[in-house]
A and B are shown apart, each in its own frame.
Chain A
Amino acid sequence: MSATPEPRPAGTDPNQWVDTHADNLFRYALTRLRRREDAEDAVQETLLAALQAQRAFRGDSAELTWLMGILRHKIVDRIRLTARDSTLEALPAEELDEWHGIFDHWRSPPKSWSGDPAKLSEDAEFWQQVRKCFAALPERQAQIFALRTFDELEAEDICKQTGVSATNLWVLLHRARLRLRACLEETWFTPESTP
C-alpha cells in the first residue's frame, strides 16, 4: 500500500518549496516523529517524492495540502513498518495508576471542565501546554492519536493503512486519552470552580 503521490498542482515551483513550506511540513513531521533528524528526513523525502510526481494536475488541493498528504503517507508507512513487530500481538499492559479499590474507582475523579473548545483551539498558551502533555505520551500512542484527530482519519482507515489491529488501536487511543486528560486537568483546567 505504498503511497503514490498525487500529481503536482499546476504552477508550483519546486525551488520555492523549502522557503514556502518547509516550516509547516517540519512542524507536522516533528509532532508525529518527535526526533528532529527523523522529521528533517521526512521533509526531505516528501519534497523529493513531490518532485517526481509530475503528472498533470487534476485536483484543486493547494500546494501545502498536497505536500502534507505525501508527508502523511510517509509517516503512515513508517508506522506500518515499525508496528509489524510490536502490535500484531496484545500490547503490553500499562499500569496508569488511575484506579483504586476493589471496584476500580477513579483515584482522582475527573472534574467538569469549563471552556469552549472552539476558543481554546486558537489559544496559543493552551497549545503550549498541550505540547508538553503530548510529548509525554509514548510514541505510538502519539502517532495514532494524531492520525485520529489532527488528520481526522476514521479508526477503520487507520487500521487499514498502518496494519495495527482494531483492538490494539482502541487500546492505544484509550491510553492516550487517559494520559492527555489527566495531564490537562492537572496543568490547565485548574479545579477552581469545583467544590
Chain B
Amino acid sequence: MSAVFSCREAARLASEAQDHALPMRQRMELRMHILMCAACRAYERQIIFIDSVFRLRARHGKPDLPTSEGLDAAARERIRARLTKDQ
C-alpha cells in the first residue's frame, strides 16, 4: 500500500487536509499511509504545529513577523504630512 502510495503524495494530501475536507477515498489512503509510515506521521504533526504556532502568535495580537527596524522617520513624516493635507 505505501509502496504504490508515495510519501510525496501523502505529504500533499496531509497538507490539503488542513485546508478542505478530503474526499473519502483520499482520506482513507492518507490515514492508511500515515499508519504505516513514521516519516509522514511526523510530517503531518509538523505542519499542524507550524500552522498553529502562527495562529497563536496572531491571537497574542501579533499577526506578523518581527522586523529589524520599524517605519523610518522620513516615511513617518511623509505619511503624517499626507494625512494632514487630506483632513
Contacts and interface: CB of A to CB of B under 8 A. Distances in A.
Interface residues of A, number: 63
Given A22-B71, A174-B15, A181 B64 contact: no
A17 B83 contact: yes
A92 interface: no
Nearest to B20: A155
B64 to A, nearest CB: 4
Given A22-B76, A98-B8, A99-B7, A151 B50 contact: no
Interface in A137-195: 145-146, 148-152, 155-156, 166, 169-170, 173-174, 177-178, 180-181, 184-185
Interface residues of B, number: 48
Given A22-B79, A26-B71, A150-B55, A130 B65 contact: yes
A contacts with B: majority SS: helix
A110 B46 contact: yes
Given A48-B83, A51-B83, A124-B66, A170 B16 contact: yes
B57 A127 contact: yes
A67 to B, nearest CB: 12
A155 B19 contact: yes
B50 A170 contact: no
B25 interface: no
Interface of A: 14-15, 17-18, 22-24, 26-28, 30-31, 40, 43-44, 47-48, 51-52, 68, 98-99, 103-106, 109-113, 115, 117-118, 120-122, 124, 127-128, 130-131, 134, 145-146, 148-152, 155-156, 166, 169-170, 173-174, 177-178, 180-181, 184-185
Given A23-B70, A40-B71, A152-B55, 9 more contacts: A26-B67, A40-B79, A68-B63, A110-B43, A113-B49, A149-B54, A150-B63, A151-B63, A180-B50
